[in-house]
Structure 1
Amino acid sequence: MNGETISADELSIRLTAIASAQRMRIIALLSGEKLHVSELARRVGMSRALLYMHLTKLEEAGFVAGHLELSDDGKALKYFEVVPFTLTIDPAALVAAVAATPATTESENP
């Protein structure tokens, strides 16, 4: 996402991951600081289970990263933070993504 050429399939996965107002809000909140899941869930006003679904999609697409840290009382807390990225969508980026994608036949990709 930082200037490398990716396939159309990879670009589609990344665009799908970020094409949600809730996930954009999660990225916005994490852009200023790393937060543990419970705090992030409070700030976005959703259950931890739903938040984990969004975080998983963002992490798989490379927008955020999660890691465990021990609190002072010995509890394991899962923290998330934004991974620096640049996402440029313009005709040139789309042409490059399509060019980087192996050709498929119609029967493979209906």
Structure 2
Amino acid sequence: MSDAHDLIGDIEERIEELAEAAERSRKLVLAGRIAAWGGAALVVVTLTGILGLPPTALVVGLAGALGGFAMAGSSSSSLDQTLAEIADLERKRSEAIDGIGLRVIPGGRA
């Protein structure tokens, strides 16, 4: 019985760690999208000459756009893998709980 409780505790601990990693990945996806769209906007502004920015602004905009898209894509992939692992661990936790063989006590609290 103690082994099942330890297993469930270990699974729940790992789920919490993965949930934190998923939140970090979400933030990185958002930061990447902001960088990508900001870089793209800087490219457009530089090319149209609206603000009279120097050519280095074009290079910075291109780097921001490409780097942002790469970061968002990579973080999105990591987020998908993390969420899949969380779902698998939640299934294993549910199976472990079912395997304990808990009994319903008549007249007990729900």
Report the TM-score, using the length of structure 1 for normalisation: 0.25
- Structure with greater proportional helix content: 2
Report the TM-score, using the length of structure 2 for normalisation: 0.25
- Structure having the higher Rg: 2
